[in-house]
């Protein structure tokens, strides 16, 4: 089983595909994770001070 499939390959045995949808989805997931981490850090700092 391949991890990443190129756009022009004709196989169905893969986990991720190198296409625009995968790139956009990955960017969205990373952005959400960064926002969640920042939220935890900011709330931790806020509650320590008060």
Number of domains, the chain = 1
In a domain, 4, yes or no: no
Residue 25 lies in a domain: yes
Query: What pLDDT score was predicted for residue 16?
Result: 79
Domain with 41, as residue range(s), is 18-50
- Looking at residue 1, its pLDDT comes to 74
Structure tokens, 17: 């595909």
Is residue 44 in a domain? yes
Q: How far apart are CA 30 and CA 39, in angstroms?
A: 14
Condensed to tens digits (0 to 9), the pLDDT of residues 1-50 reads: 777 777 777 777 777 788 898 899 999 999 999 999 999 999 999 988 76
Determine, yes or no, domain membership for 35.
Answer: yes
- Tell me the whole-structure pTM to 2 decimals: 0.69
Burial 5-27 (b: 16+ CB within 10 A, else e): beeeeeeeeeeeeeeeeeeeeee
Q: How far apart are CA 47 and CA 13, in angstroms?
A: 48
What would the two tokens of residue 46 be?
Answer: 């806020």
Q: Is residue 46 part of a domain?
A: yes
Residue 47 lies in a domain: yes
Q: Is the residue at 3 inside a domain?
A: no
Residue 40 lies in a domain: yes
pLDDT at 3: 72
Residue 36: per-residue pLDDT: 98
């Amino acid at each position: 089983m391949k991890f990443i499939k190129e756009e022009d390959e004709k196989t169905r045995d893969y986990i991720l595909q190198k296409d625009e949808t995968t790139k956009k989805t990955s960017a969205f997931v990373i952005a959400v994770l960064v926002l969640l981490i920042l939220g935890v850090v900011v709330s931790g700092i806020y509650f320590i001070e008060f």
